Amino acid sequence: MTNFLLTPIILPFFTAILLMFAPKKVYYQRVVTLVSLILTTACAVYLIQTIHTEGIQVVTFGNWPEPFGITMVADMVAMLLVTTSVIVALFTVWYSFKSIGIEREKFFYYPGVLLMLTGVNGAFLTGDIFNLFVFFEVLLMASYLLSVLGGEKGQLRESIKYILVNVISSALFVITVAFLYSVVGTLNMADISVKIAELNQPGIITTIGVLFLIVFGLKAAIFPLFFWLPSAYAAPPVPVLALFGALLTKVGVYAITRTYTLFFVHDTGFTHTLLLVLSCLTILAGCIGALSTFNVKNIIIYNIVIAVGVILYGVAQMNEDGLMGAMFYIVHDMFIKAALFFLVGIMIVVTGTANLKKMGGIMRTYPTLAWTYLIAAFGLAGIPPLSGFIGKMLIVEGGLAAGNLWSSLWILLSSLIVLLSVIRIFIYGFWGEAKTLVPKESRTHYKQLLIPSMLLVLLTVAYGVGAEWITPYMQDAAEVLLHPSVYTDAVLKE
Amino acid sequence: MEVVMSFAIGFLFMAAVYLILSKSILRIIIGTGLLSHGAHLLILTMGGLGGEAPPVLADGVTNMADPLPQALILTAIVISFGVTAFFLVLAYRAYQELGTDNLDEIRRILADDD
């Protein structure tokens, strides 16, 4: 039964292997992927409940004693993110049926999605720093496939850039792990935390902390390292973009959160101030980008950058409100980004262009799409009953409690810019003179895209309205993040 | 010995950065190859170059080399091998489709298409 926490990794992995035997049978591919993802979701939800009642679940491969084997740790932080990722992947696969195109479906699209999910879930669940690197590579390899699949010219160019950036950041990751190993002599994350506490964090550990920030910052797109993201994400088709936007940067954010709450907690003056300043600048860069473009995809892509900044601002506070807010916000953001990408994907399908200036009056023909988009846009900006509110409120409270008045005000101000950027899509795209739409040869096609999008938006609304019901789980997560001893005691069983 | 290795690794990193900043895709891939060589040598060096015998259990051997960095390197080598193979094929495909391996040219070709 203790091995049950491996199901979110094993199920997608074996399904991907099964799918590789019959790539041309599209119906088989679709059904098996969907069934496997539903099963994985059920396992993940069951695991959340187990952790809530029985505490952190730990399994070490091969029954080795704790610091020597590879440990998998399912605490509430990891499990909430795993569950969110699996649900987002489920909706993306459903949305893909009508949008990704039969040619891609016949060429290992679904195995690619499942292997990426394997890597993402593994990265969330692992308790070993080198194993984290390996799972990063698993998800990156699958994401290279998904980003280049189809082989359009734009995709080829952007994939070269994307792969190059990630090869460099992976090499940096290996270098950083080598430095860390030479200082503490262990790779188990709980053991590293204990060893750093014994050393009382000398200067070299702070240097390694900054190196980790650079490595994971390249994956998560924080301020000076986000340059590759906008064009690399704009090239692949919309379902792939939704998957990337919802999952990939969040793995980097999770890795920063984990290392900055578990390892580098004894001298927060430098590292966490750096994180705070960079998160504010990340928000600034994202805001400028989101207002600068008339491409609907790019507006939402720059909103990813803003959200990364907001989450890391919550992490940098290192108090209960800030960390709980960051957990609330990261889960919300994964759902809402996927939903928004689905919706602008439908806009691109019905208008035949991604340029906002060429759109107009979609509301006359597609009112349901318009209202769904408006709810999602309000949710993203954080209007009270919806999902973005509680996370941002707690983050700002945490910032004020830590005495960061001006940066907290900046977080609030950025919400207005986020709202402006997404409402611009609504005003230009849905209002105004009706412009030429792609002839609707089949309304059913449009409906099949709209149903998963609407359900995902409904889920975010439920997440916002039911915040009180979710709070105990978020408190568990904040507890683990705030007190590294909870994590290390569970793993090392002293 | 560690100091000599550090200089060698630093030189590899320097060459890698120089090559990665060039315009030809092939030079960039050679740069990533050098970068991964540097990273792998760095793991070996940071694990400590002490120990006389290889980490294989045999009678009468007491002073073995640290086995953990060697396992890490082996993993990192196959991963970077896989990524490099993919990257090379991608560069080949990009050359076929776009007709050039110069990154500035590729930017110009795609700007004309828009």
CA A188 – CA A436 distance, rounded (Å): 59
A385-407 burial code (b ≥16 CB/10 A, e <16): ebbbbbbbbbbbbbbbebebeeb
Distances (CA, A) of A291 to A97, A198, B48: 32, 48, 51
Q: How many domains does chain A have?
A: 1
pLDDT at position A431, please?
A: 87
- Encode pLDDT of A216-227 as tens digits: 999 999 989 999
**Residue B62 belongs to some domain of the structure:** no
The radius of gyration of chain B's CA atoms, rounded to the nearest angstrom, is 20
* Contact assessment for residue A301 and residue A307, using Cβ atoms and an 8 Å cutoff: no
Q: Which residues of chain B have pLDDT under 70?
A: 112-114
The answer to whether B87 contacts A163, with C-beta atoms less than 8 Å apart, is: yes
CA A261 – CA A212 distance, rounded (Å): 13
pLDDT at position A98, please?
A: 87
Distances (CA, A) of A66 to A380, A490, A494: 42, 10, 10
**Residue B21 belongs to some domain of the structure:** yes
CA A214 – CA A218 distance, rounded (Å): 6
Which range marks the domain in which residue A355 is found?
Answer: 2-492
Set of chain A residues whose Cβ sits within 8 Å of the Cβ of B83: 137, 140-141, 144, 163, 167, 170
Set of chain B residues whose Cβ sits within 8 Å of the Cβ of A160: 25, 87, 90-91, 94, 103
The alpha helices in A126-200, defined as continuous H runs, are: 129-148, 153-184, 189-199
| Residues from B in contact with A at Cβ < 8 Å | 20, 25, 28, 32, 35-36, 38-40, 42-43, 45-48, 68-69, 72, 75-76, 79-80, 82-83, 86-87, 90-91, 93-94, 97-98, 103, 106-107, 109-110, 113
Q: Please check whether residue A156 touches B, CB under 8 A.
A: yes
**If you search the block for the tokens 């440990």, which residue do you land on?**
A71
The angle subtended at Cα A259 by Cα A477 and Cα A253, nearest 5°, is 70
Closest CA of chain A from B36, distance in Å? 6
pTM above 0.90, yes or no: yes
- Encode pLDDT of A46-76 as tens digits: 999 999 999 899 999 888 888 899 999 999 9
pLDDT at position A267, please?
A: 84
Residue A47: both structure tokens together: 């695991």
**Residue B26 belongs to some domain of the structure:** yes
Closest-approach residue (CA) in chain A for B69: A178
Q: How many domains does chain B have?
A: 1
Q: Which residues of chain A have pLDDT under 50?
A: none
The answer to whether A153 contacts B36, with C-beta atoms less than 8 Å apart, is: no
pLDDT at position A1, please?
A: 53
The answer to whether B76 contacts A168, with C-beta atoms less than 8 Å apart, is: no
Strand stretches in A12-164, DSSP E: 57-60, 71-74
Residue A76: both structure tokens together: 């509430």
Q: How many CB pairs under 8 A join A and B?
A: 95
* Contact assessment for residue A8 and residue A86, using Cβ atoms and an 8 Å cutoff: yes
| Least CB–CB distance from B72: residue in A130, A137, A160 | A130
**Residue B73 belongs to some domain of the structure:** yes
A249-288 burial code (b ≥16 CB/10 A, e <16): bbbbbbbbbbbbbbbbbebbeebbeebbebbbebbbbbbe
| Least CB–CB distance from A164: residue in B28, B94, B113 | B28
pLDDT at position A172, please?
A: 96
- Write the CATH number for B12: 1.10.287
pLDDT at position A194, please?
A: 93
SS (H, E, C) A379-421: HHHCCCCCCHHHHHHHHHHHHHHCCCHHHHHHHHHHHHHHHHH
**Residue B59 belongs to some domain of the structure:** no
Strand partners, A481: none
Closest CA of chain B from A398, distance in Å? 39
pLDDT at position A201, please?
A: 80
Closest-approach residue (CA) in chain A for B106: A157
Q: Please check whether residue A148 touches B, CB under 8 A.
A: yes
* Contact assessment for residue A11 and residue A43, using Cβ atoms and an 8 Å cutoff: yes
Set of chain B residues whose Cβ sits within 8 Å of the Cβ of A177: 43, 72
Which range marks the domain in which residue B14 is found?
Answer: 2-49+68-113
